[in-house]
Structure 1
Amino acid sequence: MPVTPQKTLRADAQSNLDRLLAVAAATFQQEGADTSMRAIAKSAGVGVGTLYRRFPTRDRLVEATYRSEVARLCAAATELLESRPALESLRMWMDLFVAFMATKEGMGEALRVILVDDDMKMKTRYLLADAIGMLLSEGATEGTLRTDVDPYDVLLGIGGVTLIAGDPNQAAITSRLLDLWIDGLRRGNQKQN
């Protein structure tokens, strides 16, 4: 689901694109999807012409930003596991998911108009569940996480936490709820048959 240009970009062009999408995500999260395209280009350090050549409409920028953020979140699972135990990686990934949902919320109505295809929505959910599945599998191998958990259920649970307490003003509540999730996912908490 990553943003894939039709042709391979020069390193500087790829860097500009990556920076533009990162700035757009942060701006959408803070100011909403109606923010000025010119302001996004300026914050990214590119000309407005560069922005419009890449994304001729706001909807195209919103969609590309969303896809980029999904790809970044999925890749984070692997990156976290490279340097941390699975349990810690999963908890950190949950925080990244909360931030992703805040960015998605910032794109609000614009994203709802773009994501009308149920197949696209489900593909995103399955990509995210696969990332969680990798974290759970590694934790099961390490002996720290339960083996009887469906990654999609965990995704729905984390999504529920963000719906209830995903507001930045509720960071402490969000953290406590995610810690409860982690406690429930620890090995030893499996349901006995």
Structure 2
Amino acid sequence: MSPDRKRADATRNAAVLLTAARDLVEREGSDISLDQVARLAGVGNATLYRHFPTREDLLAAVYADEVAALCAYGAEVGRASPPLDALFAWLDAFVVHVATKRPLALAATEGPGGRRGPRFAAWHASINAVAADLVEGARGDLRTGLTATDVLTLARGAALAADVETARRLTAYLRDGLSSGRA
């Protein structure tokens, strides 16, 4: 088998494994077994372990995709919508992400030093960068002195304190409180 063919197979197998893991996490939560993932993906355990040596590695890859999608949405909505609308559309997606993906994020970082390790720091930095861009874009429509950290802290508080629908409603209320009144 040519090296290109091996690389294509490896890429396909990794993608199939991630899809299977994502599907299982969606259905059953983050407490999935690697055997379940391999079975659903239709590959052997050895293939799974070659790509994802530990459960944490697999869950981290799934969560990394979730963070990437959230950040991509922020960039997309930032280009397509008025700044204040973009910020609050993304904050809505952010609170849903925090409320529904938190167990996955914690499971993906449960190894030694993982909670505040490099993976977590990279995800956090990506989300903060998107929030900073959106807050900066909406700066003229927001209260003076408001920072991206302020906005994320308030939204995260809503997401962690309530169910998803209540968190979304609370985040919508934030718009009135954070707006300068010029929007």
Report if TM-score (shorter chain) is over 0.5: yes
1:29 and 1:105 in contact (8 A); partners too: no
Instruction: Report whether the alignment pairs 1:144 with 2:141.
Output: yes
Number of equivalences: 173
Q: For residues 83 and 93 of structure 2, what CA distance do their matches in structure 1 show? A: 15
Q: Which residue of 1 aligns with 2:3?
A: none
Q: Which residue of 1 aligns with 2:68?
A: 71
TM-score by length of 1: 0.70
Q: Which residue of 1 aligns with 2:123?
A: 124
1:70 and 1:124 in contact (8 A); partners too: yes
Instruction: Report whether the alignment pairs 1:185 with 2:178.
Output: yes
Q: CA deviation at 1:83?
A: 2.1
Aligned-residue RMSD, C-alpha: 3.0
Aligned partner of 2:157 among 150, 156, 160: 160
2:56 and 2:110 in contact (8 A); partners too: no
Please say which structure displays the higher CA radius of gyration: 2
Instruction: Report whether the alignment pairs 1:87 with 2:84.
Output: yes
Q: For residues 14 and 96 of structure 2, what CA distance do their matches in structure 1 show? A: 21
Q: For residues 91 and 23 of structure 2, what CA distance do their matches in structure 1 show? A: 18
* Unmatched tracts of structure 2, length 5 or more: 1-6
TM-score by length of 2: 0.74
In structure 2, relative to structure 1, the CA distance for the partners of 1:186 and 1:105 (3 Å cut) is same
Q: CA deviation at 1:78?
A: 0.6
In structure 2, relative to structure 1, the CA distance for the partners of 1:36 and 1:130 (3 Å cut) is same
Q: For residues 18 and 148 of structure 1, what CA distance do their matches in structure 2 show? A: 43
Q: Which amino acid aligns with 1:85?
A: P
Between the two proteins, what is the percent identity of the paired residues? 32
Q: For residues 23 and 181 of structure 1, what CA distance do their matches in structure 2 show? A: 37
* Unmatched tracts of structure 1, length 5 or more: 1-8
1:30 and 1:106 in contact (8 A); partners too: no
